[in-house]
Structure 1
Amino acid sequence: MSNNKKFNNSSQWIHNHINDFYVKYSYKNKLRSRSWFKLKEIDKKNNIFKSGMKVIDLGSFPGGWSKYVISKVGFKGLVIAVDKKFMNVIKGVNFIQGDINKKDILNKILSFKKKIHVLISDMSPNISGIKFVDDIKIIKLIKISLNISKKVLLKKGIFIVKAFQGIKLDYYIKKIKLFFLKVYLYKPNSSRSSSREIYIIAISKKK
């Protein structure tokens, strides 16, 4: 790709981003990110989050999902946010900074064994722009998230994870169905139409 084309694509993205309704609303209402709306749509469709729930948020930076969840579960609930990047404090949210591939961070997450009502993951790899490579990266993150959910979720717990429309997605849908009673794909209206981003919603973890 030529430098001019890269510049034009970048300029177009910036223009679209700053004029995006959800981005503008996020800034105005201090929501941290437009991803807040995605989780709100998922919750509205499935009535997931309730007062007093315990929730783990993987890939939490900059805090859009954590901020939404704590507003729903309240201070009687528990939100554990995890990310490699530092995330500014959200009242009521417990933040763990670190890589979930590292044993010490993973052990902190797994210490909540069979105590968590919902595990959400908005983790995304560094995008290369090469579809095949990016698909492999996101599948790895789905696999890690699923393995954690199997260990920490209560019976009838809920698992929500970001995916890309592409290779091996059907395979992982089938795999997730082994552990949850209801599994389906959902693309929120607030997710950009140009994005391959889609969410796997897995309801009611099996015993």
Structure 2
Amino acid sequence: MKEINSYYKIKKINNKFNIFKNKKRIAELGCYPGGWTKYLKELNIKNFISIDIKKTKYNKNYLMGSINNNLTKKKIKKIFIKKICLIISDSCPKLTNSKYINKIFLERHLKKIFFFTYEFLKKGGSIIYKTMNYVNYSMIKKFLRNFQYTKKIEFVKKKRSSEIYYYHYNFLK
């Protein structure tokens, strides 16, 4: 079910913002269970890599590992000689019943994604990632200053969803 939901979310995002147009090197962070990877394969995008600590069935361009692990980073640099054009992530740490603890987990998780972005995203590149509405916005605001443009994307459901996606584009570094 998670895979199907994530597949349709990335499809809606791409239909609205055309995020994959002319992107030569794409990295998907936290690809399990594989909904976004499946969509990339359907678009016939060839130069992408999916990174996660769990294996997905949809990608032969899969790299098992953590994005803050030095060995994983070396492998990514070997695969992509040039910097990455687009980073995508629908990943989320395992959540608990406590919003306070979830906030800590999510902010730690986002920091890993942000540090990865600073290291690997090319100037003019883009990132799209998921967060929750209870995460400290000042942390996101500090990160988005590194981009010329930002779009906030929310999917309306019958029950109130706390998921928010951010699409930052034209990386300034």
TM range (shorter): 0.7 to 0.9
The answer as to 2:122 corresponding to 1:154 is: yes
- C-alpha offsets along residues 110-161 of structure 1, whole Å, 9 cap, x if unaligned? 5536521110111111111100110111111111111111222222111111
Calculate percent identity across the aligned residue pairs. 30
Deviates more, 1:112-121 or 1:132-141: 112-121
For the pair shown, which has the larger CA radius of gyration, 1 or 2?
1
Contact 1:124 1:141 (8 Å CA) reproduced? yes
| Cα displacement (A) at 1:188 | 2.8
Corresponding residue for 2:14?
43
> Measured at CA, do residues 51 and 70 of structure 1 come closer, stay the same or move farther in structure 2, by a change above 3 Å?
farther
1:13-162 correspondence to structure 2 within 5 Å: 23=1, 32-50=3-21, 53-72=24-43, 74=44, 77-90=46-59, 93-111=60-78, 112=80, 114-162=82-130
In structure 2, give the amino acid aligned to 1:82.
Answer: I
> Measured at CA, do residues 60 and 167 of structure 1 come closer, stay the same or move farther in structure 2, by a change above 3 Å?
closer
Matches of 1:194 and 1:153, distance apart in 2: 33
Q: Which runs of 5+ in 2 are unaligned?
A: none
| Cα displacement (A) at 1:47 | 1.2
Matches of 1:180 and 1:114, distance apart in 2: 19
Counterpart secondary structure, 1:119: strand
Matches of 1:192 and 1:78, distance apart in 2: 37
Matches of 1:117 and 1:102, distance apart in 2: 21
| Cα displacement (A) at 1:67 | 1.6
TM-score (norm 1): 0.74
Deviates more, 1:109-118 or 1:55-64: 109-118
Deviates more, 1:153-162 or 1:45-54: 45-54
RMSD: 2.2
Corresponding residue for 1:174?
141
In structure 2, give the amino acid aligned to 1:133.
Answer: I
Matches of 2:124 and 2:155, distance apart in 1: 23
Counterpart secondary structure, 2:4: coil
Counterpart secondary structure, 2:119: helix
Counterpart secondary structure, 1:34: helix
Contact 2:147 2:169 (8 Å CA) reproduced? yes
Matches of 1:110 and 1:140, distance apart in 2: 23
Higher fraction of helix:
1
Contact 1:56 1:119 (8 Å CA) reproduced? yes
> Measured at CA, do residues 150 and 197 of structure 1 come closer, stay the same or move farther in structure 2, by a change above 3 Å?
same
Matches of 1:42 and 1:151, distance apart in 2: 25
| Cα displacement (A) at 1:173 | 2.5
